[in-house]
């Protein structure tokens, strides 16, 4: 063996390793390189074997070269090992199976509101929202709900412990979204068609279909020549888009102080297709909303006068719509925050 040549060859090999791996080396590969050069069958071992057999006068010098090249390899390898160890402490193991973070999503009630509102937007309605803390004037008087109406009773409404407003009465959590009919009339010149989603509050005992807080969507339109058939057409188109193209509507005469005539609207039961089941209590119909022609006393809130104007209005319960749409049996499921329920939507 020409040991000088061999030392040079090894120096060059180390140089090559340095330039091929300027940074980190996977531990498996590093181990392979170590065995290749420093292992029992490697060239460095061979070089030392050669040293042992070399003539005494050469042995010293040769030994020094062999030690030097061996140390250079060892140092390089331990440097790379240190790098690897540091990196393992810092960087997560990218070879581990990935898990996706749960990004969350809008609550099913929010999704339902967005869907209903967008149907009405397509039918020409604009979106508005109003205060949850209302005044008696907007919640009752301006809507022709007189002072003797049971819903005005302190036990039937959440009144706030605030000094009453001189003109507009006591403050309360709104019991419906209809007050926004009046607020829009005060703020905008007709014609308009508006939908108002939002929370409403009633001191109802909580059970599978009642909650002290729930969501409504109010819809109303005021213009010249607005007729009951506009109301029917809008509600029918909405029901067919929200539930099913085959859904039927039934308008039952009803009474609301703020509409005249008034109706309650039933949809044909989507669970039994009108045949009669436990959801529709055997009737084939399910009540979904209240509506009517806006009462002249309510239209009288338009500052420029209501001469020649008519209007339609409806109010629907979002939870109820959502329960019917997805077959949800208990309203309390919306509010407990149980992700096993919520992540289905
Ligand atoms: N505000 C009524 C309620 O909460 C619903 C309704 C709205 C009825 C608009 C007629 C017109 O029961």
Q: Over the stretch 332-343, which tens digit does the pLDDT of each residue have?
A: 999 999 999 999
Greater confidence (225 vs 146) lies with 225
Q: Please report, for residues 32, 46, 115, 227, 325, the alpha-carbon distance to residue 38 in angstroms, rounded to integers and kept in the order given.
A: 10, 10, 70, 96, 73
pTM: 0.72
Ligand 1 atom nearest residue 216's Cα: 4
Residue 88 CA to ligand 1 center (angstroms) comes to 64
Percent of the chain with pLDDT over 70: 100
CA atoms within 13 A on the CB side of 247: 26
* Contact indicator for 218, 196 with CB cutoff of 8 Å: yes
Mean pLDDT of 41-51: 92
Q: Which residues contact residue 326 at a Cβ distance below 8 angstroms, ignoring those fewer than 6 apart?
A: 108, 345
- Residue of 60, 58, 57 whose CA lies nearest to 1: 58
* Contact indicator for 201, 177 with CB cutoff of 8 Å: no
Ligand 1, pocket-test mutation among 219, 258, 311, 319, most atoms within 8 A of CB = 258
List pLDDT tens digits, range 2-26: 888 999 999 999 999 999 998 889 8
Residue 140 CA to ligand 1 center (angstroms) comes to 12
Ligand 1, pocket-test mutation among 139, 140, 145, 176, most atoms within 8 A of CB = 176
């Amino acid at each position: 063996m020409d040991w000088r040549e061999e030392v040079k060859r090894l120096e060059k090999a180390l140089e090559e390793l340095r330039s091929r791996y300027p940074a980190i080396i996977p531990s498996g590969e590093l181990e392979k390189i170590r065995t290749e050069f420093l292992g029992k069958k490697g060239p460095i071992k061979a070089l030392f074997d050669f040293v042992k057999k070399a003539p005494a006068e050469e042995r010293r010098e040769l030994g020094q070269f062999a030690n030097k090249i061996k140390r250079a390899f060892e140092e390089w390898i331990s440097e790379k090992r240190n790098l690897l160890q540091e990196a393992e402490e810092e960087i997560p193991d990218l070879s581990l199976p990935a898990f996706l973070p749960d990004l969350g999503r809008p609550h099913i009630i929010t999704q339902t509101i967005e869907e209903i509102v967008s149907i009405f937007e397509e039918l020409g309605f604009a979106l508005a929202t109003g205060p949850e803390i209302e005044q008696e004037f907007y919640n009752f008087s301006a809507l022709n709900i007189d002072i003797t109406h049971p819903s005005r009773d302190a036990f039937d409404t959440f009144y706030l412990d605030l000094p009453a407003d001189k003109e507009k009465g006591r403050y309360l959590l709104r019991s419906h979204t209809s007050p926004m009919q009046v607020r829009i009339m005060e703020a905008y010149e007709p014609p308009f068609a508006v939908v108002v989603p939002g929370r409403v509050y009633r001191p109802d005992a909580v059970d599978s279909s009642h909650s002290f807080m729930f969501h409504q969507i109010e819809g109303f339109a005021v213009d010249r020549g607005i007729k009951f058939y506009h109301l029917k057409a809008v509600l029918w188109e909405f029901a067919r888009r929200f539930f099913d193209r085959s859904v039927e509507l039934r308008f039952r005469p009803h009474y609301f102080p703020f509409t005249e005539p008034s109706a309650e609207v039933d949809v044909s039961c989507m669970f039994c297709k009108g045949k009669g089941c436990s959801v529709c209590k055997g009737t084939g119909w399910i009540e979904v909303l209240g509506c009517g022609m806006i009462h002249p006393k309510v239209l009288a809130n338009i500052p420029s006068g209501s001469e020649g104007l008519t209007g339609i209005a409806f109010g629907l319960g979002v939870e109820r719509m959502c329960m019917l749409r997805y077959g949800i049996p208990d309203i309390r499921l919306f509010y407990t925050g149980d992700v096993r329920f919520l992540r289905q939507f």
